[in-house]
Structure formats: C-alpha cells, structure tokens
Amino acid sequence: MKKVIYTLFVIAGIAFVSSCKKTLDAPTKSSLDESVIFSTPSLAEGSIAGVLQSFGETNSYRGRFLVFYGLNNDTEVYNTLKSVDDDKAKLSNYNCNVNNSQMNTTDNAWAKFYEGIERANLAIRGIRTYGNIESNPAMAQILGEILTLRAVIYNDLIKGWGDVPARFEPITTATAYLPRSDRDVIYKQLLADLNEASGYLPWPGENTTTARVERVNKAFAKGLRARLALAAGGYAQRLDGTVKLSSDPELSHDKMYAIAKKECLDIINSGKLRLLGFEDVFRKLNEETGAAGLESMWEIPFSDGRGRVIFDLGVRHIKTDQYTGQNKGGTDGPNPIMLYEYDNDDVRRDVTVVPYEWDGGDGTKGAIQVPSSLGRLYFGKYRYEWMKRRVTATNDDGLNWMYMRYADVVLMAAEAINDLDGPAAAAPYLKMIRDRAFPTAPNKVTAFMATATASKSAFFEAIVNERALEFTGEMLRKSDLIRWNLLGTKLAEAKTKLQQLENRQGKYAALPAKIYYRTAANGETVEIYGLKLGDTDAQGVALGYTSNKAWTMVTTGETVSYWNALYTKDPNLQQYWPIWQVFLDSSNGMLNNKPLNL
C-alpha cells in the first residue's frame, strides 16, 4: 500500500511541478492552469506530492539530514566518531566547516528543503486564490497539509542551521536573494500557520485520507505546533553568537509554554491516539502497518526503494542474510553510557540499545547475533529482522521515518504543565510514560514519582532524563538540549561518564571487565551476561558461558579516545551547521556565517 501511495505522490508531484513552471513562464490558459488545479481537490492534491518529493531526494532527508542531524550528544553518536577529521565525523563533532564534502553541493538538504518550501509556497498561493476553502473542506484540508509540511521543513532548517532566510511567498526577481532572518519571525509565522492548519485538518482516521500515518492530520499539526512553541520559548544560539532566550514579547517563555500545554491537552483529550507497548510501537513501524490513530502521528513516507532509516540507524548486518539483502546498519548508534542509564526493569532498554550485530550466513539463512563492542552499539528501534519484507535494494530500505509519536505529546504536556502549574498537575502525564516503561515494577514507578514531584525543579530534571530514555535514536535530543540551554552541560557530563565507564570508576566501578556470551538454543539469538549494573566477572565465569570478550571502547592503534572525539570545540559555539560555501557563493553577498565565526 505504501509503495502505491508513494508512486501516486511522485507522479502527481511531477505533474504539479511542471504545471507550476508553466504558470511562471506564461499566463496562457489551459485545462491545467492554476485556476483549475487549485480549485479541484483531485488535482490540487498533487501539490502534497510535490513537497514530499523534495523530502525523499538523495541528499535531502533520505541520505543527509536524517543520518547526520542531532548526533554526538549524551544519547546518540556517530559510530565512527573517532575519525575526527573525516567530514562525516565533522558534521557531528562541533567542528564543521563550510566546505564539508558531504554537504557542500548544490543538491544537498539545504537546497532540497528550500525546493520543498517553494513548492509549498506556490501551492498555498494557488489554493488561497482559487481554492474557495471557506466552502470546500476538501480543498481546505489540502491547504492544511501543505501549511503543516512547510512548517516541518522550517522546523528542520532552524534545527540544522539556526537563523535562515524566511520565504513565505513564491520567489520573484525582487526576492531571489534574501539574508538570514531572525528565527523569531519564522516561528511566529509557523505558529500562526499551524493554528490555521489544525482548523482544516481531520483527526487521525476521521476520513480516508487521514487513515494512514503518511498523511498529515490535526493531531500532528497540533503536536508540531507544541514542539515549535517549546523551541521558540527556549534558548538558542542567536545571530549575534550568544545563547539566550528570545527578546520578542510575543514569544515569551510563558506564552510559548501555554501554547504547548493547550495543544498537547487538545490531543490527549481527543482520545484519537494511544500509547502502545514500547516494543510494539517499533515493531509496527518496522512492519510498515501504517495505520493512523495508534502512537505514530506522522511519518515521512519512503517507497520500498527509497530512504535509509535501517540502512544508517538500524541494527547492523555484516553480510546479507535471511533477513536482509543489504549488509548495512549502524552508521549511528547510542552513546555507550545509555546502556547503563536504564533501570534493569525498564523495558525500553533492550528495544533501544542493542549490543550485538548479525554475522555469518549464506545470504538467505544462517546469520546469528554476535556481540559488537562497547564503542559500537546500535539503535534497536530499526531492524531488518522485524520487517515483513526482505530488503533487496543495495542503497535504500524504504522504511518510513516516524517524525512524531504520541509519547512526545504526553511528555511535552508534562513539561509545559509543570512549568506553568507545578509538578502535582503535571504528574499524571509523566506517570503515563513511566507506567509503560515499568509494566512489571509498579513500585518503582511510585518511588520515582514521589521523588520527581518533590519540586518544580526536580520534575524538570525528571523530564530531561525521561526524554533521553524515551527517545534515544529518534534524533530529538540535541534540539531538546539546545532549548533547555543544556547542550554543553550534558556533553561535558557525558564525556566524564564515558571516561568513568571505560576505566570502571564511579557508578561503573563494579561492572565486569568482560562480557560473557553464548548462542541460545534457537541457534540465532545471543545471550549476554555482564551488561547490567550489578553483574560481576565472577558470576559470568560461574554461569559457564562459552565465550567472553573485553568490553571496551578502546581499539587497537587509536589516536583519539572515544570521549575526546565526542566534541572537539565548545558545542555552544557551534550549535548549528554553517551555510555551505556553494550557497554563500551564489547568494549575491546576502548570506554569511558570522554567528559561527566561520
């Protein structure tokens, strides 16, 4: 089903782009001029395809932004981070320059994002002019989708590059070159757009269009508005290079948190979404069920031969085997300290952090799980072995990217309500997430909540930690840390923890120096002892495991330690990527990277 939908999107998108070019070139009338396209829902729907096509291009979300944005924090890392001078590593280690070979091309994410924005702008203008949205709900819904997709792109532009040019109208000769805009201007426009969009969009499953997660719905528009409000009301590195809150009274902390609270409570009180079992969330994602109204709120749709989610963020398969026709996975992975941040009864740990990879086999069968290393762990949320189809493409796996899920809304509600009303009012929402994480240990939830609700500051700290445990591998952490003004602080803490873990100091002092492992009776699954606080070498030996190996981040001949590779410059001086040289050169002198001192 997903492949069919995506193919229709692309076909319609090509037709849409061609028609838009025609309207820009000449005002000739035809059966496909703007007045017809943007007054006919079946034709205007192609504008959605035009925008989504830009998401899936080779160097857009598919092969650049999803792979490299948000890495090297206290939860997520580039798995080859010790190659500090490699341009891929530099995209993550806070030492990126304008000539980065992975990004300094005319077709990379920056270009594709603005391509998607231009397509959205053309559609928005056309629908507002000809769509008669006041009396045509189908056309209004399309406008709501386009407004929301444009907000998605701007959200990621700001996350990736900070203050960026604001383009909310189609390009003209007068606006061909624009400078960077203060992000506050963009935030205010997006907050207004999403408020408008949510009035046009149905809830998940309310019509055939919103029955699947590849299409935007009211819940997602509201959730995205909450996410943007929290960012707008938080800290960021500004155009003058300093890290501070907005000085715009319309974007004050309290006003933004009030918006987030309202939007999240609207979603929760609608009853249109629900929390699933934690593992079930990601099994359904990997099984590509695509049904709306569960936990996934919206997914970037990729066809079977497009998209690199497992390819880059999944559990590694060293060879092709019974589960996959591509030997990929593991470009990115969890920060090693995350293996020890979870309580032993927290069911999220073994779903999120995988300490093994798949090896062996003849291409169709026989591969088994084997331990990886402490310095190379994998996100277990994305797995070839959980898919219902076998990936055969060499470069792409086609798994959708889950852009937002209901748990994010619940924790944003907890954060905003604590900030505005205190921990007692916010407690039920945090408890929802803890209850799911500890289905067999309710006493631990009770004890945790008693500590978390002791004060507003204690509750905030609980939220900071809970979002790490809940969303590792979903690339939300870096932007969270920036808006809390905790990026540098948490990276410094992670560096210390990594040193302590390697040297078995502090809370890691009693950890075994080795892990002990064997293949289970099913001939495929690895059983590992020594990964939990409380495990010991003596017990590992006594249990009679057939194999063992040193559990270390150190590799033979290395010149850079793991913790020193995490960041090479002050993270707060380079919270964002620079605008790449190719775009500086073609900007007619309008763009620069002064805040980053590049």
User: Which two three-digit tokens encode residue 203?
Assistant: 């809830």
> What element of type H or E holds 368?
strand 368-371
State the SS3 of 401-453: EEEEEHHHHHHHHHHHHHHHHCHHHHHHHHHHHHHHHCCCCHHHHHHHHHHHC
Output the CATH code of domain 2-67+97-302+576-583: 1.25.40.390
Reported as a single tens digit per residue, the pLDDT across 51-95 is 999 999 889 999 899 999 999 999 999 999 999 999 999 999 999
Centre a 10 Å sphere on the Cβ of residue 276 and count the other Cβ atoms it contains: 18
Give the predicted TM-score (pTM) of the model.
0.93
* pLDDT value for 419: 98
Beta partners for residue 207, in sequence order: none
* pLDDT value for 22: 32
Residue 18 has pLDDT above 90, yes or no: no
Lowest mean pLDDT among 5-9, 259-263, 367-371, 408-412: 5-9
User: Which two three-digit tokens encode residue 242?
Assistant: 């300093």
d(CA 454, CA 426): 12
Reported as a single tens digit per residue, the pLDDT across 277-290 is 999 999 999 999 99
Lowest mean pLDDT among 6-15, 274-283, 440-449: 6-15
* pLDDT value for 15: 34
> What element of type H or E holds 67?
helix 66-68
* pLDDT value for 598: 57
* pLDDT value for 24: 33
Per-residue pLDDT band at 239 (split at 50, 70, 90): confident
- CB-CB contact of 376 with 79 (8 Å): yes
Residue 172 has pLDDT above 70, yes or no: yes
List the chain domain ranges: 2-67+97-302+576-583
